[in-house]
Amino acid sequence: MRAALLLTLLAAPAHATCQEEEVFSCPIGKKVVEVCSWRGELTYSFGREGSPEIILYEPLETVDYTPWPGIGRAIWNMVAFQNEGVTYEVWSSFDRMDENAVMEGGVNVMQGDDLLATLTCDKGSVKWGLDAITDLKAGIGQCWDIESHSWGLCN
């Protein structure tokens, strides 16, 4: 299984998933979404701070991450985590043409092509965009091939 779902967390401290580097986080109402890097994995968590409802792990080598292609007015990134046919797609975006723009983000929950939920971060609350994942992948020798829209070993 590519990702593991933890249904029960015993004595989990606040931000237990961010033991190394926080890549993305924001509140969505009374809950928090986080993407963290730890020991060669990316971790997705969602739920009340200190008591996530879901935690998914994905090796950095195989995580589905799409960096900004370098065109358009919005600088955006997306990373997806899979669990039993459900995709949790975390996104961040910044309108580089708007001098008053703030970083935006959220989570799209999908099952196949069906959108189950769209959760948007509280306005102005996104701490980090997802672009740090590009550097993490480069650190393990992966490069983005813009033509095939995929990650592979750097030449």
Residues 19, 64, 92, 28, CA torsion sign: negative
- Over the chain (155 residues), what is each successive 10-residue block's mean pLDDT? 35 50 95 94 94 95 95 94 97 95 97 97 92 95 93 91
In whole angstroms, what is the distance from residue 88 CA to residue 118 CA?
A: 10
pTM: 0.86
Task: Identify the pLDDT of residue 20.
Answer: 75
pLDDT on residue 18: 75
Structure confidence at residue 90 (pLDDT) = 98
Tokens of 85: 């046919």
CB 35 within 8 A of CB 52: no
Query: How far apart, in whole angstroms, are the C-alpha atoms of residue 17 and residue 103?
Result: 22
Q: What pLDDT is attached to residue 17?
A: 54
DSSP-derived 3-state class of residue 138:
helix
